[in-house]
Amino acid sequence: MTPPPTVDLLIEARWIIPVEPSDTTLEHHAVAVLDGRIVDILPTADARQRYAAAETVSLTEHVLIPGLVNLHCHAAMTLMRGLADDLPLMRWLNEAIWPAETRHASTTFVRDGSLLAAAEMLRGGITTCNDMYFYPEATAEAFSRLGLRGVLGITVIEFPSQYASDADDYLSKGLATFDAWRDDPLIHFTLSPHAPYTVADKTLERVASLADELELPIHIHIHETLSEINDSLRDFGQRPISRLDQLGLLGPNLIGVHAVHLDDGDIDRLTLHNCAIAHCPTSNMKLASGAAPAARLLDRGLNVGLGTDGAASNNRLDLFREMQQASLLAKLTTGDAAALPAHRALRMATLDGARALGLDHLIGSLSPGKAADLCAVRVSDPDALPCFHPVSHLVHVLGRHDVSDVWVAGRPRVQGGRLLQITNTELLSTARLWQNRLRQ
């Protein structure tokens, strides 16, 4: 008799929501994992007979979902969490954030801040983070240490900082990091011009050329505030999205962050070029920037993922909250209770984010051949019961505190709610050190 094939890991769950196919919830199923990849999803009873597992994890009160994809973040800014609240965007930047960065930004600042951010995200079920910040090599080190899948921005801005002197210097240093890390299986890259109002035409054209040459996505803030649009009309005679179109940046590889203030022409351009949008509802509300028309963009067929933005403006890196905020905000702004249902919000936080990054062949849903980036969410507390529809619970009842286990490429990163790669003692020490430095 032929022995059953061996797998590294068999995860048995009360429910599995694979995201693909849509609106699918599997009960009493198991995921088989070999060499960091999903090889099968099948009923638990069949899995026990079909496979010999080196390790079996039984999640009898859990929902198993793909790892969440944070489509926009500034991880190192976790060190500035709550540094300045109740300010609009430009005052927040000019009076608090940019001065603090001028004084403190360094390789150590970014590595420590990114370490805190990676720990927070993994504990909250986020397995992939699309980041934009200075010193990307330090972010890569932090993400790699904790085993978070990272997409790092080759950040470009015109004005000098502690990191670089001008746009050419930013690109040169970012491309050096790209070369150093390009073969790491968990580290990916984007070209990340900060925003149309901080990057000149010549630099944007070079970014477009590099994106084609290196086959990288472009990650850029767009139309976050009305003042940004008014300034562009004054300085360039056109809206920012129109300017980006003219300079050759719009396309399927563009991830436009925020996209709050859009007119019909803006939406037509984004649709024509099949751009992706990173919707950051909590940050947009907290900075009083407005509410992005996410439901309308989805209706037009645009790919819309979810981002937390940085912890300095959110103030947490929590995609469970972003899923609920996105769903409720869409219902409120459209007057339609059916707008952005729970299953759509979950897809935005998983597969749509992966698609925007060009990684949907690898992550974002649970299917054979994809990486085993997985998140288990406990549904056992009395205040979370009864549970009639697990997808609805994920968006409207449960939260990051219910995440029990997380795997990235089949390797455990969180187990029983405990982060495996770093201690709370080290994280607390790091946070307190920087709190004292920034307070001074």
Contacts of 61 (CB under 8 A, 6+ apart): 14, 378, 379, 380
Q: Is 281 in contact with 293 (CB distance < 8 Å)?
A: no
| pTM of the entire predicted model | 0.97
Any idea of the CA torsion for 308, 310, 311, 315, to the nearest 10 degrees?
Answer: -50
**Cα–Cα distance for residue pair 270/294, rounded to 1 Å:** 13
**By C-alpha distance, which of 433, 350, 345 is closest to 389?**
345
Tokens of 146: 């904790």
Point out the residues of the chain with pLDDT beneath 50: none
Q: Could you tell me which residues are beta bridge partners of residue 303?
A: 276
* 6-66+370-409: CATH class: mainly beta
Any idea of the CA torsion for 143, 149, 153, 154, to the nearest 10 degrees?
Answer: 80
- Environment class of 114 (CB within 10 Å of its CB; exposed 0-12, middle 13-18, buried 19+): buried
Structure confidence at residue 98 (pLDDT): 85
From residue 343, alpha-carbon distances to 193, 277, 352 in Å are: 32, 18, 12
CATH architecture of structural domain 68-356: Alpha-Beta Barrel (3.20)
From residue 129, alpha-carbon distances to 68, 73, 173, 299, 316 in Å are: 9, 7, 21, 26, 14
Helices 107-123 and 136-146 pack at an angle, to 10 degrees, of 40
Helix, strand, coil percentages, rounded to 5, for the chain: 40, 25, 35
Instruction: Establish whether the linkage from the previous residue to 386 is cis, with ω within 30° of 0.
Output: yes
Place of tokens 């992939």: 128
**By C-alpha distance, which of 323, 257, 335 is closest to 89?**
257
Structure confidence at residue 287 (pLDDT): 93
How many other C-beta atoms are found inside a 10 Å radius of the C-beta of residue 293? 22
Structure confidence at residue 334 (pLDDT): 97
Report domain extents, the chain.
6-66+370-409, 68-356
Structure confidence at residue 1 (pLDDT): 61
Pairing of strands 254-258, 218-222: parallel
φ and ψ of 112, to 5 deg: -65, -45
DSSP letter string, 352-369: HHHHHTT-TTTSSS--TT
Rounded to a whole number of angstroms, the CA Rg of the chain reads: 21
From residue 299, alpha-carbon distances to 339, 351, 423 in Å are: 10, 17, 44
Structure confidence at residue 92 (pLDDT): 85
DSSP letter string, 88-155: -HHHHIIIIIHHHHHHH-SHHHHHHHHHHHHHHHHHTTEEEEEE--S-HHHHHHHHHHHT-EEEEEEE
Q: Is 359 in contact with 188 (CB distance < 8 Å)?
A: yes
- pLDDT tens-digit map of 257-295: 999 999 999 999 999 999 999 999 999 999 999 999 999
**Cα–Cα distance for residue pair 429/368, rounded to 1 Å:** 41
